[in-house]
Structure 1
C-alpha cells in the first residue's frame, strides 16, 4: 500500500522521526484523557461534588469517543490526513483551556466533551498512519513507537501533571497541557509526512471480520475491567494511607513500569502474538488480584499496582496490531473500532466503579476488575484466528 505522495513505504529506521512525532501526539492525547484521574479529589473539592461524580468526567470523555470514533472516521475518510491530524491536536489545546478556566463543574464537563470528540478521531488517524509509513512486517514494532506515547502519557504526563496540580492547583495542570498541545502541533507539522487522502480500496479478505469482532470485543472487556479500578486509583491510594503529595510519584512508578510492558509486548507481538497476549493479560489478572488481596496495606497496593500497570502497558498495542492484521477493514477504520471499543470500556468502567463505590465500597473494585479482565483473556484465547500463534 504505497500511499505516500511519490514515496513507497519505508523501513522502521527510516520512518523513526515520523513515528516519534506520532508518539508525542499520542502522549498528549492520553494525558488529556486521563489527567482528571489524578486530580479527582482536588476538582471535587473545588466545586463541592463527590468523588463518584467527578469520576464521570472520565466516563463523559470516553462516551464521546465510543459513540463517535467510527462515524467520524467514515465521515472524514476523504479529508487530507495530515491537516486533519493537526486539527485534532489544536482541539486538544482548546479543550484543556476550557477546563483550566472553567468557572463551574458544568463548563469542565463541556470542555471534556470537546476533548472526547477530538479523541474520537485522533487515534483512528494515528493508528491508520502507521501501516502507510512502514512495511507490513514491521507494523507491530512501529505501532509500539507511534502509540507508545500513550504509555508515556501514563508514565510522565499524568503523574507529573498530578504532582503539579497538587502543588499549585489543578487548573495549572490543564493550562500547561494546553501549551504543550500547541508545541506538539508545531513539531508534528514539521516531522510527519503527508499521505494520500484517497481512501484505500476495500479489503479483499472477508474472513477477517470475525477476527476483528473478537479483537474489539476482548478490547472492550479488558478496558471495562481496567477502568473499573484505575479510575479511582487515587482514591484507593489515599484510603490506603498515601499522602496527597505521593500520588504523583506513585503513578509515575506505575507508568514507568508500563513502558517496560510496552517494550516487551512490542518485541513479542511481531513473532508470537498469541503467546504475548496470553502472558500480558495473565499478568494483569494476577496483579489486580494481588492488589485486592493486599488492600488496604499501602506497600502491597503500590507493589501490585506497579506490576498490574506495567503489564497493562502492552495491552493497547496488542489490540491495535491484531485489529490491523485482521485485514477486515482499512487501517483507519480498524483503529476507529479499537478506539471506540476501548472507550466503551473506559466509560463503562468509570461508571461501574462510580456505581459500586457508594454501595459496595472500595475494597470490592479490584475483584470486579480482575473478573472482567479474566473474561477478556478467555475470549482472546478462544479466538485463535484473531490472536494467532504466528502473525
Structure 2
C-alpha cells in the first residue's frame, strides 16, 4: 500500500479524535456551559450535519483542484475552529465552531477518500478504505480515551487545545508526503466524467440502498457511542475514571473490526454483512440488557466496537464500489452516508434518554435501527454486493 495512505490516516486520526472525543466529555461540557446532557450531546449531531453538507459541497467545489492544497487547507481551518472552541464561554459559539470544524473535516475526508482509492488498484478500494479508517479507529483506541483523561484532569477545554496541536504534524505530513499532482481518480477509470454525470450516480438504486443501509448501521453505532459515558457512570454505577477504559475497549474492537473487514469488504462483502449483521443486532440487545452490571457491560462494549465497524466499513466500501462512476464525488457520498447516521443517531439517542429506558435508551435505538437495516440488507444482498464492471475481473 502507498505511503501516502498512512499519512492521510494520520490526519484522519486527529480529526477522528475530535469527532468522537465528545463521547467522554459530554457530561463535563454540559456542566461547564450550563446546558443539559442531551443538549451537549447534540454537538455530535452538529458535527455530523456539517459533515453531511460539507462532503458533497467541498468535493464539488474542489474537484478540479490538486488534492494537496485542499487537504492542507481543510486541516488548517479545522485547527482554528478548535482554538475557537477552546476559548469560547458560550454553548452557541462552541456549536458553531463544531459545525465549521465538521465542514473542514468533510472536505478533507471526501477528497482523501477519492485520493486514497486513486492510489490503489480498482479492486482494492476496501483495503485502502481500511487504512484510511484505521486513523479513526486508532482515535477511538488512543485519542478519545486520552482526550477523556485529559478532560477529566484539566477540563474539557484542554482537549480542544490538544486537538489543535495534533493537527500541526498532520498538516506537515500531508505537505511532505502527498505528491503535488496526486490523482483523485483511479488510472483505470479513464477520462474524468462531468459533475452532472457524477451526481447522476446518486439516482442509482444500488447506490441509494447501500447509502441508506450504511446510514442506519452507523446511526445505531453513534447513538450508543455518543452516550456511552452516561451508561458507564449512570447505569453501571462506575466512576468517571472508568469512561476512558470503556472507550479503549470500544476502540480496540473497532480497530480489529475495520482491519478485518478491509479484505473481506473487497472479496466477501455479502458474507460479512450476513454474519456480522445478526451478531451486531444481538450484541446491541445484550448491551442494553446487561448495562446495569459493570463486569458484564465491558464485554459487549468491546464486541460491538468490532462488529459495528466491520459491518459499517463494509457498507461504506460498497458505497465506493456503487459510485465507481463518480471518481471525484464518490468519496463525498460515502462520507455523507456515514455522517447522516452520525447526525440521526445522537439525535434519536438524546430523545431516548428522556423515555422510561433512561440511559439505555440510545442502545435500544441502536437495536431498532440495526434491525431495520438487517431486514433490508437480507432482502437485497445480491444486488448491493454486485461488483462494478471495472473491478469484476
In the alignment, which residue of structure 2 is the partner of 1:347?
343
Higher mean C-alpha displacement, 322-331 vs 124-133: 322-331
Q: Give the Cα–Cα distance (whole angstroms) in 1 for the partners of residues 129 and 205 of structure 2.
A: 22
TM-score, normalised with respect to structure 2:
0.90
In the alignment, which residue of structure 1 is the partner of 2:362?
365
In the alignment, which residue of structure 2 is the partner of 1:309?
305
1:158 counterpart (137, 140, 144): 144
How far is the alpha carbon of 1:316 from its aligned partner?
4.1
How far is the alpha carbon of 1:341 from its aligned partner?
2.4
In the alignment, which residue of structure 2 is the partner of 1:106?
92
TM-score, normalised with respect to structure 1:
0.90
Q: 1:54 to 1:270 in 2, by over 3 A?
A: same
How far is the alpha carbon of 1:181 from its aligned partner?
0.5
Q: 1:113 to 1:232 in 2, by over 3 A?
A: same
Q: Which sections of structure 1, spanning at least 5 residues, go unmatched? A: 1-11
Contact map agreement 1:144 1:266 (CA 8 A) in 2: yes
Q: Give the Cα–Cα distance (whole angstroms) in 2 for the partners of residues 80 and 106 of structure 1.
A: 35
How far is the alpha carbon of 1:193 from its aligned partner?
2.1
How far is the alpha carbon of 1:207 from its aligned partner?
11
Q: Which sections of structure 2, spanning at least 5 residues, go unmatched? A: 186-190
Post-superposition CA distance 1:335-365 (Å, at most 9, x none): 2112112212211111111112123322333
Is residue 181 from structure 1 mapped to residue 167 from structure 2 by the alignment? yes
In the alignment, which residue of structure 2 is the partner of 1:6?
none
Q: Give the Cα–Cα distance (whole angstroms) in 2 for the partners of residues 18 and 68 of structure 1.
A: 23
Runs of 4+ with >4 A deviation: 196-199, 202-208
How far is the alpha carbon of 1:23 from its aligned partner?
1.0
How far is the alpha carbon of 1:308 from its aligned partner?
0.5
Q: Give the Cα–Cα distance (whole angstroms) in 1 for the partners of residues 386 and 141 of structure 2.
A: 30
Q: Give the Cα–Cα distance (whole angstroms) in 1 for the partners of residues 331 and 274 of structure 2.
A: 22
Higher mean C-alpha displacement, 77-86 vs 221-230: 221-230
How far is the alpha carbon of 1:170 from its aligned partner?
1.1
Contact map agreement 1:288 1:305 (CA 8 A) in 2: no
SS at match of 1:270: helix
Is residue 71 from structure 1 mapped to residue 71 from structure 2 by the alignment? no
In the alignment, which residue of structure 1 is the partner of 2:249?
253
Q: When the two structures are aligned, how many residues end up with a matched partner?
A: 377
How far is the alpha carbon of 1:328 from its aligned partner?
5.0
How far is the alpha carbon of 1:200 from its aligned partner?
2.0
Post-superposition CA distance 1:121-166 (Å, at most 9, x none): 1211111112211111222212211222111111111111111111
SS at match of 2:319: helix
Q: Give the Cα–Cα distance (whole angstroms) in 2 for the partners of residues 246 and 139 of structure 1.
A: 37
In the alignment, which residue of structure 2 is the partner of 1:296?
292
In the alignment, which residue of structure 1 is the partner of 2:15?
29
Q: Give the Cα–Cα distance (whole angstroms) in 1 for the partners of residues 46 and 315 of structure 2.
A: 23
Please, what is the CA RMSD of the aligned residues? 2.2
